[in-house]
Amino acid sequence: MINLHNSLYIEQWRNNQRIDTRKTHNEINYFGRARLLQKVFFPSMFIGSLNWYIGLIDNLTYISTSETDLLGQPLQWTELQSFAVENDINPSGRLPWTPDATASVGSIENTILNNLTLTEDGDIKGIFITNNSEFGVIGGGILWATAILVSGITARANDVLKIGYRVSLTNDPDYVSDEGFP
């Protein structure tokens, strides 16, 4: 049996000082798993971007997540959109997830943390991974996964979040690894 395990790592920086570090694991969405299998076993069926993006889940509206959540449908959470992506690589949308070009045996991750800067104060409950780059697009795209923090992050305008994300495939159902993140 192959098991998917994903890890999330977030650093919160204020005035060039790291003030918080969080690690958690996430739930892979039903449709994300289906898309993975389609891409591997039926590549001609796969339609859509192979690029992935990180969005923030707003803690103020958060009730719950579900493995059957669909972007563009009513959810029990909303997206926090008050941030800017470093170097304006996506000025009207989400933070690109930029994993390393090659996967290690059973794992792919971004070893260089992705940075975003909050443009307003906000409370962050977690993140989600999607193939849709734009904020608030109806019809949404593929929701790969959601990662919920036990306690949210209270952030101020100009705080920087540095985010690492890993997808791992393993035969070990109890595998959990945070190795490689700072």
- Cβ atoms of 95 and 8 closer than 8 Å: no
Confirm if 103 and 116 have CB atoms less than 8 A apart. no
Query: What is the DSSP pairing of strand 27-28 with strand 17-25?
Result: unpaired
Residue 171: per-residue pLDDT: 65
pLDDT tens digits, one per residue of 47-102: 555 788 888 999 998 998 887 787 777 788 888 888 888 766 656 688 888 887 66
21-51 pLDDT per residue, tens: 988 877 777 667 676 666 666 656 555 557 8
Instruction: Taking the CA atoms of 36, 168, 99 and 151 in sequence, report the sign of the dihedral they define.
Output: positive
pLDDT greater than 70 at residue 138: no
pTM tops 0.95:
no
Where would I find the beta strands (DSSP E) of 86-130?
95-97, 107-109, 114-118, 122-130
Residues 6+ apart with CB under 8 A from 35: 46, 48, 142, 144
Q: What pairs with residue 122 in β-bridges?
A: 155
Q: Which residue bears the tokens 């260089």?
A: 112
Average pLDDT for the chain: 79
DSSP type of residue 110: -
Residue 44 DSSP class: G
